[in-house]
Chain A
Amino acid sequence: MTIETPVPFKGHLIEPPSQMVETSRGEIIDMFTQAYMMRRLEIAADVLYKGKMIRGFCHLYDGQEAVVVGMERALTKEDAVVTSYRDHCVHLGRGGTPLEVMAELMGRVDGAAKGIGGSMHMYKRDANFFGGNGIVGAQTPIGAGLGFAFKYNKQPNVAVTMYGDGAANQGQLFEALNIAALWDLPVIFMCENNHYGMGTAQERSAKSPVYYKRGDYVPGLRVDGMDALAVKQAIKFAKEHCVSGKGPIVMEMDTYRYHGHSMSDPGSTYRTRDEISGVRQERDPVERLRKLILEHNLLDATEIKQIEKEQRRIVDEAVEQAKASPYPPSENLTKNMNTNLENIVVRGVDSQTFHPLV
């Protein structure tokens, strides 16, 4: 079936794709199921954090689910994805289970990174998900490198590197853009613009808050990031563009996060609650998918409720299992490290002197 997305794409140095998206009943229902599960998972993480079962940093993705859900429809597991610390749902999109995410958040051994990474360092190598990066913007040169690997190995795949509107001002992003454009690397630089870099609104942090045009010589596309189908269309279009050797492309996903920057941020000191509830009512991605299902009579209301109940149950089960999961054993502390320091020799002040390390 074909559905028209309401918000038109905006292109920079490129013809934007059509607003008519090819999709199917099963796909929409799957997207809704996945988006709803992500929403429940983030809410569960919120509750657990407030109950002190999750400690440390916790950056929640609720409100932005459409980006991942739409993106994964257009990519395969051979394509590479790398993102920032707001990675719980990206991990789920790449094939991770809710148990992996929950256990990792609680620091248990069943987690995505065996409990040593936490919220910001989820990883799934077999699905080409390269994390989960804590340093703002550091994933952009890594994304360029992943694209370089694909080009080098002559693979028809694309690397998607996701960053936020706050990271869009990082110098390393422009370095990555330069080299990707110079060598025509198959990289999609996806800016998830949730309009607030931590607590700073985009108008106050960027002279040019039109992030899809920031690539200058790199073509760009602006997408309504709350519409999963629009995202799917855009990524499909971008993948074709990159894989055909035309070089990188910058995408700006116009999205919104309901929670604060992280769990330490109430999220209401730099924006009004009315704004948040306004977006929740008008542009909520999960609601949009639900409306789509009801409009096109793909399922009726009770069936949707069943799906919701089921996803809720899955998340609750994952939480229980994660709570029951043990902490990593102490051997894991040095498991992947070289602990044999005996024969290591360190050079001294000149080329003639050497010292043992210990």
Chain B
Amino acid sequence: MKRASSRLSRSLTAIARAPSARELAQRVELSVARASVASPSTRRSSATTLAWTRKAFFARSWSSDALPEHVIVPMPALSPTMTRGGIASWHVEVGQAIRAGDAIADVETDKATMAMEATEDGFMAAILVEAGAQDIEVGTPVCVTCENAEDVEAFKDYASTVAIKAESAAPVASAPSGPVESPSVAPVASAPSARATRAETRASGDRVFASPLAKRLAKERGVRLDNVRGTGPNGRVIAADVYEAHETGVNATEAAREVTVDHPLSKFFPDFEDVSVTAIKRVTAQRLTESKQQVPHFYLTVDVRLDNMISIRQTLNKQLADDKAAEGAKISVNDFIVKASAKALLAVPEVNSSWLGDKIRRYKKADISVAVQTERGLMVPIVRSACCLGLKTISSEVKALASRAREGSLTPQDMTGGTFTISNLGMFGVKSFAAIVNPPQAAILAVGGARKEVIKNESGGYEEITVMSATLSCDHRVVDGAVGAMWLQSFKGYIEDPMTMLL
């Protein structure tokens, strides 16, 4: 009993010895009030005096913003080897209550995505890092929690103050001119030279020793491992080296870019905005340049009468509209084109081939790649075995692929392969155009828009018809002119008289 009471009294007196901030402020207030009463000559308004002392006191005891008690939550190391991570998503919003043990965010570690748990009850006061942010170093503040719901208001501008502090630090670091740059330029200049000498000692054919994590990071960031100085055991390149190389490399290219902005020629061009090159654009650029440079193209154009096809299409669509099981499927002109091309490829298999250098591979089935324009760039998903599918199936396939392309959820399997491509710009009013062959395919069909024309018919009169222009670009290594022409003839036949597709 004695032991218990002494411990209790010790803790209570300990509390008494350390008054809370509010108590201290009250004591200050009292003393100021007493002072103001005692010396009326030096009296300022007691309210302002109190306000000044309270603010000054709080300024001393807490941060200058006088924020209520809060905990700044740093980025946790959720695996022993983690040095940086990303926030995949937040599970809590500002102002929401948190209980101890709740998962407040998903953190991408170097190994897996794991949940970050709250350590105690409270409320989310401020979120400092957006969902999707990457490369946050362990220990960087990511959010702020506080104890009471009322305190959340006080943190409304917290994120912006932290951001402002960060921003004010950043431009100083990356400004191309100014005194700050010179000391940072000097070490950058010396580091590359040290790295260069180090790289020299490594013969160009030598294997670069790097940890698996470093290799992955280098691949992600496009850092060439030959140029990175290894500081790991036995001169191994470790993740820290790749980060460093990437950062200095980024700074170097930033400096280089700033230099081009200052280049005299830029004066002759209007104001600009630089758009970064995405993976899709990069791949498209590379492959099409290769194709245009290395594939011997030639182009064959034909005009195709669409009247029969249009009427058959209408009939079929009416059927589908009545048919409940079809679920509103509608066959489009493009579906006819896909089917006709596929059948034409079976009829003229020389076009359904690939140039493989020492041989030409002739495919037994036709997989048609359909070009879809999305906001991310040009994507070409594939309708497999289009030759064997009915119009309805082709229609639903193409619709599904197109919507997945626009969402961005196409898998590499959807886009790899294909023996022939169709590109349709008719919806934009283009009359005709010539597309670029997609190697290893042998040809690509470019279809323009339907237009009405007046022609002279057999009986000497005039009639109005609907035509569209189709241009076949061929790879002359695989397809000769006559072969291409035969294909076009076959295609034209199938479109002008769709009944022949039944054969």
Contacts and interface: CB of A to CB of B under 8 A. Distances in A.
B101 A310 contact: no
Nearest to A46: B119
Interface stretch (B73-81, B249-257, B281-289, B472-480): B73-81
- Residue with the greatest number of chain B CB neighbours at <10 A, chosen from A30, A258, A313: A30
A51 B15 contact: no
A310 B78 contact: no
Interface string A44-83: 0011011110010000000000000000000000000000
B8 A29 contact: yes
Interface string A247-267: 000000000001000001010
A344 B25 CA distance: 71
A280 B101 contact: yes
B151 interface: no
Interface string B125-157: 000000000000011000000000000000000
Given A266-B114, A313-B18, A51 B138 contact: yes
A334 interface: no
A50 B77 contact: yes
Nearest to A55: B80
A320 interface: no
B102 interface: yes
B15 A306 contact: yes
A51 B139 contact: yes
B139 A277 contact: no
B400 interface: no
B1 interface: yes
Contact of A266 (B7, B80, B115): B115
B119 A47 contact: yes
A296 interface: no
B301 to A, nearest CB: 63
B1 A26 contact: yes
A307 B11 contact: yes
B359 to A, nearest CB: 53
B99 interface: yes
Interface residues of A, number: 27
A277 B76 CA distance: 21
Contacts of A138: none
A276 interface: yes
A198 B133 CA distance: 33
A27 interface: yes
A33 interface: yes
Nearest to B112: A266
Nearest to A29: B8
A30 B2 CA distance: 12
Contacts of A46: 119
Contacts of A291: none
A277 B4 contact: no
B266 to A, nearest CB: 47
Nearest to B74: A51
Contact of B1 (A24, A55, A258): A24
Nearest to B73: A47
Contacts of B14: 310
Contacts, number: 63
B120 interface: yes
A258 B119 CA distance: 11
Interface in B1-57: 1, 4-5, 7-8, 11-12, 14-15, 18
Given A26-B5, A43-B119, A307-B11, A50 B101 contact: no
B100 interface: yes
Interface string A299-326: 0000000110110010000000000000
Contacts of A26: 1, 4-5, 8
Contact of A280 (B8, B76, B78, B99): B99
A268 interface: yes
A307 B10 CA distance: 11
Contacts of B217: none
A277 B102 contact: yes
B101 A273 contact: yes
B4 A27 contact: yes
B18 A51 contact: no
Interface in B286-309: none
A29 B3 CA distance: 12
A30 B8 contact: yes
B320 interface: no
Interface string B190-214: 0000000000000000000000000
A280 B139 CA distance: 28
A268 B103 CA distance: 10
A50 B78 contact: yes
Nearest to A303: B12
Contacts of A309: 15
Interface string A264-306: 1010100001001100100000000000000000000000001
Contact of A268 (B77, B115, B138): B115
B91 to A, nearest CB: 11
A199 to B, nearest CB: 15
Contacts of B117: 266
Contacts of A51: 74, 76-77, 138-139
A236 to B, nearest CB: 16
A317 B74 CA distance: 20
Given A24-B1, A24-B4, A50-B78, A276 B11 contact: no
Contacts of B15: 306-307, 309-310
Contacts of A313: 18
Contacts of B114: 266
A139 B256 CA distance: 65
A50 B8 contact: no
B120 A43 contact: yes
A310 B19 CA distance: 11
Interface string B89-122: 0000000000111110000000000110101100
Contacts of B119: 43, 46-47
A325 to B, nearest CB: 20
A137 B15 CA distance: 42
A277 B99 contact: yes
16 contacts: A26-B1, A33-B11, A43-B120, A47-B119, A50-B74, A51-B74, A51-B76, A51-B77, A268-B115, A273-B103, A277-B101, A306-B12, A307-B11, A307-B15, A309-B15, A310-B15
Interface of B: 1, 4-5, 7-8, 11-12, 14-15, 18, 74, 76-80, 99-103, 114-115, 117, 119-120, 138-139
Given A51-B77, A264-B79, 9 more contacts: A30-B8, A33-B7, A50-B76, A266-B114, A266-B115, A280-B99, A280-B100, A280-B101, A306-B12
